[in-house]
Structure 1
Amino acid sequence: MTDNTMLMAGRTVLITGGTGGIGRATAEGLARLGARVAITGRDLARAQAVAAQIAAAAGNPAVDAYAGDLSSQAEVRRLAGEVLAAYPRVDVLVNNVGGYWAHRHVTADGLERTFALNHLAPFLLTNLLLGRLIASAPARVVTVSSGAQAMGRIDFDDLQGQRRYSGQRAYNQSKLANVMFTYELARRLAGVGVTATVLHPGVVRTAFGAEDQSAFFSLMSTVVRPFMKTPAQGAETPIHLASSPEVEGVTGQYYADRRPRRSGKTSYDTTVAARLWQVSAELTGLAHDTDAAGKEHLAS
């Protein structure tokens, strides 16, 4: 690697959902900039194989793999423990993992999978790693949302889609939750040297939603696929937010195409954001944590 590719030298980055699509492309991009990169995937063997491929492509051997189904809170907690044990500093956390399900699925914790994986997983992981992020300041938390956030609504009366479930409505809600979580996190972290930004990567050509697609989703994917961004193009904004000196100190902002944008009107409601944070803390057990990591998070 030449000197101009060493922007992230000495920095450690954790990327969830890094075995494919935007996550993998983000991992490769940051590895090319000299970062030590850790990726997560549900299957360890696959994650290790992808990590080796990223290392070879980037010319950077410092790419590590971790396993975990992050829809399970026990798995999120185990991952956080492994990361804290492995890395004396965590400079950037990229909350990328996510999914879309046309039908309602329930996690090991009894929660609706879209909300659990897309929102509660990054909420819990970020809180568990906050102490290390603060100690590593200046540090960054970058969360991948979607333009669908503009159509979302936080339905506190039916967060888990028990009364009525729509894959699109659940997805929109979870992506709005990503934005509101980021804004609330930025408010709570003011002055500690850790920034929080959130982004829309664009409509990217990946296997997203393939596990449980509706017929309409499948048809639309086929029709619009030629016009979608490549994973590398989708990764440009998360790479920018994770590494660029231009956004040093920028926090509580929503980005698309590497530029700050306005998110949906609802996302700026601080009362709803505070309530969402408290409900999320209850659902993840953070409101009652008394362990060492728990003392460092911002659940209360």
Structure 2
Amino acid sequence: MRTILITGGTDGIGRGLALHFLRNGDRVIAVGSTQAKGDRLLADAERLGAADRVVFHRTDLTLTRNCQELIDFVDASYPRLDALILGARHDRPFGPRVETEEGFERHLALLYLSRFVLAYGLAPALERAANPVIVSLCTPGVSAGAINWTDLNMTGKYSGFKASLQALRANDLLGVIFAEKRVGGKTRFVAYNPGVVATSMTDTLPMPVRPIAKAVFKVAAQPVDKALPPIVALVDAPPEQRFSASWKTKQVDLGKDTFDVDKAWRLFDATGQLLRTHKTGIAV
């Protein structure tokens, strides 16, 4: 029986993947921040006869200490981890900068730092599996956005839209450096762009943007069940390359500037410095 951990596992694509793998006979650790959504997933798992193979781990992944607690939970509870699917995301493109208790800009914390900490922290558990893979649901192939090298935490002039794009570009570089640093490892890292999917993402947008976005999504977005098969295929048969990126079923050219190795090393060093400056206790 495989053990699969999914962040953002109680809603949207993450929930769809959780139910798929439960039907398949796998064990699923679904990570989310909302109790009601977790309860709904647990009820669905019980109806599938899979109540003994699902765990809802409620936590706030914007805090690195909670990411470390999740790593400790996995290490103490399971002999290995077969797949890590990184899907937790909560964009706030409008409004003022929101800072976590640990002093990090919220987009950076949830969309990048949590994935950084979990990928490296769970790497030993993944390496104990036969064919381990990390699938990061992000936006490879998109060039919009840039890393703010002089103000990674965006404490100066702020734009939620730019903060979100920065975190997404950081995700591209995370996959690059993970593969560079773990040359001898078995774990494959895949950056995957599912395209526009009909999830609850638009629910968090303010008025009057929300109804407009919902109308656009209704026309342009594919349903969740249609978005699942390519992701499932990556988990069932990971690519041979240590790092790969794809947009739906099309491979993304890793020669693009968004996957620059020197920038990936620079971001790794900057991330380590940021974690140390904020005294998170996370060793990199």
Same fold (TM over 0.5): yes
Determine if the alignment matches structure 1 residue 64 to structure 2 residue 25.
no
Tell me which residue corresponds to 1:77: 68
Question: In structure 2, do the counterparts of structure 1 residues 289 and 227 end up closer, same or farther at CA, with 3 Å as the change threshold?
Answer: closer
1:48-127 aligned at under 5 Å gives the runs 48-54=39-45, 56-57=47-48, 59-61=49-51, 62-101=53-92, 102-103=94-95, 104-127=97-120
Q: Deviations over 1:243-285 (max 9, x none)?
A: 2x3x343331111223322368332211111111122223334
* 2:202–2:213 CA contact under 8 A, matched in 1: no
Question: In structure 2, do the counterparts of structure 1 residues 285 and 134 end up closer, same or farther at CA, with 3 Å as the change threshold?
Answer: farther
* 2:198–2:217 CA contact under 8 A, matched in 1: no
Q: Which amino acid aligns with 1:116?
A: A
- Whole-Å Cα distance in 2 between the matches of residues 264 and 51 of structure 1? 42
TM-score (norm: length of structure 1): 0.85
Tell me which residue corresponds to 2:7: 16
Q: Which amino acid aligns with 1:158?
A: D
* 2:138–2:191 CA contact under 8 A, matched in 1: yes
SS in 2 for 1:151: coil
Tell me which residue corresponds to 2:166: 173
* 2:198–2:222 CA contact under 8 A, matched in 1: yes
Candidates 109, 125, 147, aligned match of 1:154: 147
Q: Give, in angstroms, the shift of residue 73 of structure 1.
A: 1.2
Please report the RMSD computed on the Cα atoms of aligned residues, expressed in angstroms. Answer: 2.5
Question: In structure 2, do the counterparts of structure 1 residues 171 and 54 end up closer, same or farther at CA, with 3 Å as the change threshold?
Answer: farther
Tell me which residue corresponds to 1:222: 215
* 1:13–1:38 CA contact under 8 A, matched in 2: yes
Structure 2 alignment gaps of length 5 or more: none
Q: Which amino acid aligns with 1:267?
A: T
* 1:119–1:174 CA contact under 8 A, matched in 2: yes
- Whole-Å Cα distance in 2 between the matches of residues 262 and 63 of structure 1? 36
Q: Percent same amino acid at aligned positions? A: 26
Tell me which residue corresponds to 1:192: 185
Q: Which amino acid aligns with 2:50?
A: N
Q: Which amino acid aligns with 2:139?
A: S
Greater Cα offset, 247-256 or 89-98? 247-256
Q: Which amino acid aligns with 1:35?
A: D
Tell me which residue corresponds to 1:5: none
TM-score (norm: length of structure 2): 0.89
- Whole-Å Cα distance in 2 between the matches of residues 290 and 71 of structure 1? 15
- Whole-Å Cα distance in 2 between the matches of residues 68 and 252 of structure 1? 28
SS in 2 for 1:26: helix
Question: In structure 2, do the counterparts of structure 1 residues 257 and 290 end up closer, same or farther at CA, with 3 Å as the change threshold?
Answer: closer
- Whole-Å Cα distance in 1 between the matches of residues 113 and 253 of structure 2? 23
* 1:196–1:251 CA contact under 8 A, matched in 2: yes
Q: Give, in angstroms, the shift of residue 218 of structure 1.
A: 4.7
Q: Deviations over 1:13-71 (max 9, x none)?
A: 000011110110111222222211110111346414313314534x5341211011100
- Whole-Å Cα distance in 1 between the matches of residues 42 and 277 of structure 2? 31
* 1:137–1:192 CA contact under 8 A, matched in 2: no
Determine if the alignment matches structure 1 residue 250 to structure 2 residue 241.
yes
1:196-215 aligned at under 5 Å gives the runs 196-213=189-206, 215=208
